[in-house]
Amino acid sequence: MFKGTLIRSGNNAKTVKGDGEFETAIMYLAPFTMAGSNVCPMAEQAGCVAGCLNTAGRGAFNNVQKARIAKTKRYLASRTAFMAELVTDLEAFVRYCKRKGAKPAVRLNGTSDIQWEVAHFASRGDERGSVFELFPEIQFYDYTKIYKRAYRDLPANYALVLSYSAANPAYAAAIQKTAAETGANVAMVFRSKALRDAFVGKVADEFWSMPVIDGDETDMRFLDPKGVVVGLYAKGKAKTDESGFVVG
């Protein structure tokens, strides 16, 4: 287990399943407006506020929520200082993975949707750029509801998966259009594991004729085949969500 000030590995049940060749560290911030400013700009349009996975797993504990809010407030107060702190964590994680003989993977948006590829610069030694440029040895990946990100020329070591919601028909249509035009994979949260499993391995018309894979078997989204629906099942408050964010 790696424990930095911003990122940690070994404390997410799904990422641990994929540990071996890779080890994943995740940064969990306070989503939406919990820390005073919105770090999930599409949350209301996508209807995912009530069903946010922020409350799943360790997120159910009050001390964890306080820590996430504190980190997010540091990000909002000084992006420069925060990025320097992140670089320190990433350097330590790279060293940790080297000792373990594992490849480092990092999710920066565990419970946020920040566009890290835009206007988020940092320094590492004499180099300056995005963390993707500064750490080519790390495989970064995230889920996102900001579908315009899929149209960008993203760094080679940053993989994005679109996050679906039917809470807003216009948003759902935009996700479908983006997936068709860019080939991006789409994550869908199903009401139950049984419902998700019923679709795994099948090509369903309601999912735009895209095959469904088990997205809970591992979190290594950068290893998924292209053009698939990444099927997840509801956890935390999402189990009772009726907004349309959860399918079924």
Q: What's the confidence (pLDDT) of residue 17?
A: 56
Does the pLDDT value for residue 81 go beyond 50? yes
Is 210 inside a domain boundary? yes
pLDDT band at 51 (very low <50, low <70, confident <90, very high): low
Is 165 inside a domain boundary? yes
* Number of other residues whose CB lies within 10 A of the CB of residue 195: 15
- Amino acid 19 reads D
Work out the burial of residue 140: count CB atoms within 10 Å of its CB; fewer than 13 is exposed, 13-18 middle, 19 or more buried.
Answer: buried
Task: Take residue 31 and report the two structure tokens written for it.
Answer: 């989503």
Does the pLDDT value for residue 59 go beyond 50? no
For the stretch 8-42, pLDDT in tens is 998 665 555 555 799 999 999 998 888 889 999 98
- Amino acid 245 reads F
pLDDT band at 219 (very low <50, low <70, confident <90, very high): very high
**Contacts (Cβ under 8 Å, ≥6 apart) of 181:** 151
- Mean pLDDT of the residues in the chain: 89
Is 55 inside a domain boundary? yes
Q: Which residue's structure tokens are 């900001």?
A: 146
d(CA 143, CA 136): 20
Q: What's the confidence (pLDDT) of residue 35?
A: 85
Does the pLDDT value for residue 241 go beyond 60? yes
List the end-to-end C-alpha distance of the chain, in Å, as a whole number: 36
- Greater confidence (106 vs 207) lies with 106
Does the pLDDT value for residue 54 go beyond 60? no
φ, ψ of residue 245 in degrees (nearest 5): -60, -40
- Greater confidence (172 vs 17) lies with 172
Is 1 inside a domain boundary? no
- pTM score, whole prediction: 0.90
- Greater confidence (47 vs 52) lies with 47
Is 60 inside a domain boundary? yes
Is 2 inside a domain boundary? no
Q: What's the confidence (pLDDT) of residue 237?
A: 73
Is 108 inside a domain boundary? yes
Tell me what the mean pLDDT of segment 79-83 comes to.
Answer: 97
Does the pLDDT value for residue 218 go beyond 80? yes
Tell me what the mean pLDDT of segment 197-219 comes to.
Answer: 90
Which secondary-structure segment (H or E) carries 92?
helix 79-100
Nearest alpha-carbon partner for 188 in 158, 157, 210: 210
φ, ψ of residue 28 in degrees (nearest 5): -105, 120
For the stretch 134-150, pLDDT in tens is 999 999 999 999 999 99
Is 209 inside a domain boundary? yes
pLDDT band at 124 (very low <50, low <70, confident <90, very high): very high
Q: Which domain holds residue 17?
A: 7-247
Domain count, the chain: 1
Q: What's the confidence (pLDDT) of residue 248?
A: 83
